[in-house]
A and B are shown apart, each in its own frame.
Chain A
Amino acid sequence: MRHRRACAFRFSGGGYRMMQEARRRVAIGFLTAPAYVWLTVTVLLPLSAMLFFSFLTVAPIGGREAQFTPEHYLTFVDKEFYRTLTWRSLRLGFDVTLACVLIGYPAALALAKYVRGRWREAIFLLIVLPFWSNALVRTFSWTMVLREGGFLDRAIHWFSPDAPPFSMLFTYPAIVLGLVHSFLPYVILTCYISLEAIDDSLLEAARSLGANALQMFLRVMLPLSLPGLFAGVILTFIPVIGSFMEPRILGGRAGIMLGTVIEDQFTTVFNWPRGAALSFIMLGIVLLIFAASAPLLRGRLKGL
């Protein structure tokens, strides 16, 4: 429509079209400039500044002289401590993601294909509701369950009064439990969306061609829901390797991860350049994961 109007005015010379074009530019500039500036100040420049800091001997704040040095990256390679840490964080990401998939995928499948109507809507909302609430409060709430004298302890002693005191707080499983609780709704959500989109007629076609339930799942449902599953896996794994609050609260001393060490560099040790280098290494890992999964995701989506 806009185009046709522009054509009608073509004979009155290029003036109208130039004005239209200028107007369009002003509109685009007006609409997007604030977002541009805002994100430059809060995302682009901070990440650049962090890269710069990670190569300095000290933070150049308060008149201190800083020299360039690759030492923070070299220590990472040299010291086994940091490699162990990185490995622990990756391991945590792996464990949590696996548990989320094993528990969440069947739930999404059940919800998408075997529960109907109002019940489906209600249960779905109940599952995603806690996910949108405060992560810190949810993590805190687990300490009420897991600590000595907490809910689980009481429940065990209610059944068998002679049992020894029970506490799971400040252990590795406690961290995994808390993080699974946090990210499970995410995995269910992404799996559910792609499972729900599968046309029922495809399943009927498979059934009429003689597929049994297992074949139908393995040859039709699973392949078609892989994009959602991958999305859930990536969206869980990445935040988990960057987590520090959950390991700190639920893991105590057992919860030392790359994330908690980075937190320490900025809040208690005040070695910002080292913290920046560790943050950047974490960012590198995250980008590697994205790069590795991009073709996988894209190929899958094209296959649809």
Chain B
Amino acid sequence: MRGFGIWAIRFYLALLLLFLYLPIVVMVLLAFNQSPLYELPIVWDTVWFQSLVHNDRLIRAGLNSVGLALANTLIATVLGTMTAIAFARYSFRGKALLELMLFPPITIPWLIIGTSMLIFFFWIGIGRGLHAMLLGHVALSMPYVIMVVGARLKGHGSALEEAAATLGASPWQAFWRVSLPVMAPGVVAASLFAFAVSFDQFVISYFLAPPGVSTLPVEIYAAIRKGFTPEINAISTIIILFSMGLMLLFARLYRFGGER
């Protein structure tokens, strides 16, 4: 009975993994299929990856995505780390309000956040475009940065900084020579996460994209609705492998729960 139970559990988990990975594997395999009509059996070919090189729309969208994600990573990591330090080291008036404002981007549906940004940005003249998307992406990724860096800071109290201060370090020195090295793994993990959040973000970008300017997810959505070719599989394959790679890196740096 005991042996049977263990096998049942293994079987169940295997089935679960099959369910989670089946569509992704099918999509990737079809990206390497020669037929433009997705006909089987698969005839191995990289023609769709080659034609990506000549697809200016997708290349421009890809460059936009990467540029946006890099800018987002820089801003969200710096602002988020600053806020995390303030949360961990000080108690102050307005802390509760700030914590409350961090709540909506990660809890209420992005549809609501995205449409409200569209209305407001259009109304006051910020308009749509990459700059508007950047505003939105930073708001979405900052809460995650604060959580990840905050967990790291919680694990290491302020004792080291106080020791530095007693030994005569100025606050600035204490920050650069003591606090930052302690936080570093958390900050690096957080920046990877911020990059992934922005690179994969679709909803906010979709509502803030003016005609002619898009990111990869926005371009893919348009293609799916118009009728797609295996080119979309090829670019999707690249995206999914890339973001899974990022997350593996993140998982190595930051154990869930942040105990390391």
Besides A36-B94, A238-B107, 18 new A-B residue pairs in contact (Cβ under 8 A), listed by A number: A1-B166, A27-B171, A28-B86, A40-B101, A43-B101, A43-B104, A46-B121, A47-B112, A127-B20, A130-B21, A134-B202, A137-B236, A143-B224, A144-B30, A242-B112, A266-B115, A266-B207, A279-B111
Candidates B135, B243, B256; contact of A42 at CB < 8 Å:
B135
Q: Is B173 positioned at the interface, with any CB of A under 8 Å from its CB? A: no
What are 7 A-B contacts defined by CB distance under 8 Å?
Answer: A32-B86, A32-B98, A34-B79, A126-B17, A137-B220, A249-B224, A275-B115
By a CB distance below 8 angstroms, the chain A residues around B138 are 38, 42
CB A241 to nearest CB in B, in angstroms, measures: 7
A145 touches B232 (CB 8 A): no
Candidates B9, B19, B236; contact of A110 at CB < 8 Å:
B9
A193 touches B257 (CB 8 A): yes
Closest chain A residue to B92, Cβ basis? A28
Candidates A43, A129, A150; contact of B139 at CB < 8 Å:
A43
Closest chain B residue to A242, Cβ basis? B109
Q: How far is the CA of A224 from the CA of B143 in the complex (A)?
A: 28
Select the residue from B24, B203, B240 with max chain A CB neighbours within 10 A.
B24
CB B52 to nearest CB in A, in angstroms, measures: 15
Q: How far is the CA of A262 from the CA of B111 in the complex (A)?
A: 8
B115 touches A50 (CB 8 A): yes
Candidates B38, B122, B135; contact of A144 at CB < 8 Å:
B38
Closest chain A residue to B132, Cβ basis? A42
By a CB distance below 8 angstroms, the chain A residues around B207 are 266-267
Kindly supply a per-residue 1/0 record for chain A positions 190-225, scoring 1 wherever the CB is within 8 Å of any chain B CB and 0 otherwise: 000100000000000000000000000000000000
Q: Is the interface of B mostly helix, strand, loop or mixed?
A: helix
Q: How far is the CA of A61 from the CA of B123 in the complex (A)?
A: 7
B239 touches A35 (CB 8 A): no
Q: Is A76 positioned at the interface, with any CB of B under 8 Å from its CB? A: no
Q: Is A185 positioned at the interface, with any CB of B under 8 Å from its CB? A: yes
Closest chain A residue to B217, Cβ basis? A136
Kindly supply a per-residue 1/0 record for chain A positions 127-163, scoring 1 wherever the CB is within 8 Å of any chain B CB and 0 otherwise: 1011011111110111111000111001000000000
By a CB distance below 8 angstroms, the chain B residues around A151 are 22, 26
Chain B residues within 8 Å of A, Cβ to Cβ: 5-6, 9, 12-13, 16-17, 19-24, 26-27, 30, 38-40, 79-80, 82-83, 85-86, 90, 92, 94, 98, 101-102, 104-105, 107-113, 115-123, 135-136, 138-139, 142, 162, 165-166, 171, 196, 200, 202-203, 207, 217, 220-221, 224-225, 228, 232-233, 236, 239-240, 243-244, 247-248, 250-251, 256-257
By a CB distance below 8 angstroms, the chain A residues around B102 are 39
Q: Is the interface of A mostly helix, strand, loop or mixed?
A: helix
Q: How far is the CA of A286 from the CA of B110 in the complex (A)?
A: 12
CB A39 to nearest CB in B, in angstroms, measures: 4
Tell me the chain A residues, 20-49 only, with Cβ under 8 Å from chain B: 24, 27-28, 30-32, 34-36, 38-47, 49
B119 touches A138 (CB 8 A): no
Given contacts A27-B90, A31-B85, A106-B12, contact A140 B27 (CB under 8 A): yes
By a CB distance below 8 angstroms, the chain A residues around B120 are 45-46, 49-50
- For A, the interface residue count at a CB cutoff of 8 angstroms equals 84
By a CB distance below 8 angstroms, the chain B residues around A46 are 113, 116-117, 119-121
Closest chain B residue to A32, Cβ basis? B86
CB A287 to nearest CB in B, in angstroms, measures: 8
A286 touches B109 (CB 8 A): yes
Q: Is A256 positioned at the interface, with any CB of B under 8 Å from its CB? A: no
Q: How far is the CA of A44 from the CA of B135 in the complex (A)?
A: 13
Given contacts A103-B16, A259-B109, contact A49 B119 (CB under 8 A): yes
By a CB distance below 8 angstroms, the chain A residues around B240 are 133-134, 137-138
Closest chain B residue to A50, Cβ basis? B116
B220 touches A145 (CB 8 A): no
